[in-house]
Amino acid sequence: MKIKQIIVLTTIITICSTARSQTFTNAFDYMDKIDVQFKSIMSDAWDYVSTAAHKKNARKTETKRNELLKTIASAQKSIQKMQSFEDDLSYRDTVLSYLKLYYDVLNKDYAKIVDMEEIAEQSYDNMEAYLLAQQIAEEKLDKANDNLNLEIEKFAVSHGMNMTENKDKIAKKLESSSKVIKYYNVVYLIFFKSYKQEFYLISAMNTNDVNGMEQNKNALITCTTAGLAALDTIKSFKGDISIVSSCKTVLNFYKTEASTKMKDIIDYFIAKENFDKIKTAFDAKAQTSRTKADVDQYNNAVNEINVALKKFSTINDDLNNKRSTALTNWNNASEKFIDVHVPKYK
């Protein structure tokens, strides 16, 4: 019942500033030859990012990731063949170092992240680690990208050129998409923590574990209270508060379920436990050995469990319906949020 997460390696977007030559036309052509390679990489990067965002499953984006890896490898080979410009290899070599890191992160780090996705849903800690791994991978590239930009500026200045930042449409889409996913992941993690806690509560209920229900009920109240407080601090994304509002709806449902509905649910299981004991003792006695008190006690227990069962069924059906509605709305809001703010590759 969730939108799966993706890694968005978009830091390459800022390195394609346009170099405008004042004196050294050949220096401009030299930089432009590298710039052409980056444009090819960005095109495949955007195809990959957009596909991953809208398919919401890292496994389904493997083809696009492999295509991007091939494009990076091809660019490395092409740039490696370039000679120095006026005996200056600093720019070329820094670009090659960056592309090697970009390739390694996409190939090795992301491969681990894909594996982490398989177990991410098992616990909040796993999900948090999964999203953190994505963040760390992108931060590696952020740092390398900053170093590359410094080298671009140094190269341009040393060869009499002015640098003007002029991001193309793909670069802007990649940069925008990165912000969308980062915003979404913050809200998603708040959602997932309560989602998982309610799962533990339902699991305890399904195994007739009264103590487990009590513990997880209290934990869910604490979790949702903290989650709702955190959501109150999150501002809209470009005026769009839909994903936050949808998350609040789910958490409010969980909080109501735990704080006002679970008492009657737990009471039913306690009544059932008591009935099972009375029934077992009653069945163990031969019919000729049963006293009027035994029969009365058993009949009273039957009446009590029937009343409790009817109440339980009504509450449980209502919770199931409201849970389904809340989660469906969450999924729809999540998908719409991504669709609106992350353009599809064309």
Given a cut of 50, whether residue 13 has pLDDT beyond it is no
Q: How confident is the model at residue 6 (pLDDT cuts 50, 70, 90)?
A: very low
pLDDT in tens, 287-303: 888 899 989 999 999 99
Residues pairing with 5 in the sheet: none
What are the backbone angles phi and psi of residue 85, rounded to the nearest 5°? -110, 115
Q: How far apart are CA 165 and CA 150, in angstroms?
A: 13
pLDDT in tens, 161-213: 776 666 677 777 888 888 898 999 999 999 999 999 999 999 999 999 999 99
pLDDT value for 163 = 67
Given a cut of 50, whether residue 17 has pLDDT beyond it is no
pLDDT value for 269 = 94
pLDDT value for 148 = 84
pLDDT value for 50 = 82
What are the backbone angles phi and psi of residue 234, rounded to the nearest 5°? -90, 125
How many CA atoms lie within 13 Å of 81's alpha carbon, on the beta-carbon side? 7
Q: Check residue 208 and report its DSSP letter.
A: T
Given a cut of 80, whether residue 22 has pLDDT beyond it is no
Q: How confident is the model at residue 342 (pLDDT cuts 50, 70, 90)?
A: confident
pLDDT value for 104 = 92
pLDDT value for 58 = 58
Question: Cβ-count burial of 139 within 10 angstroms (0-12 exposed, 13-18 middle, 19+ buried)?
Answer: exposed
pLDDT value for 174 = 81
Q: What is the mean pLDDT of residues 111-123?
A: 84
Q: Among 31, 170, 208, 192, which residue's Cα sits nearest to residue 120?
A: 192
Indicate if the alpha-carbon torsion angle 155, 157, 162, 166 is positive or negative. positive
Q: How confident is the model at residue 114 (pLDDT cuts 50, 70, 90)?
A: confident
Q: How confident is the model at residue 23 (pLDDT cuts 50, 70, 90)?
A: very low
pLDDT value for 166 = 61
Q: Which two tokens stand for residue 87?
A: 């005996």
Evaluate whether 42 touches 345 at the Cβ level (below 8 Å).
no
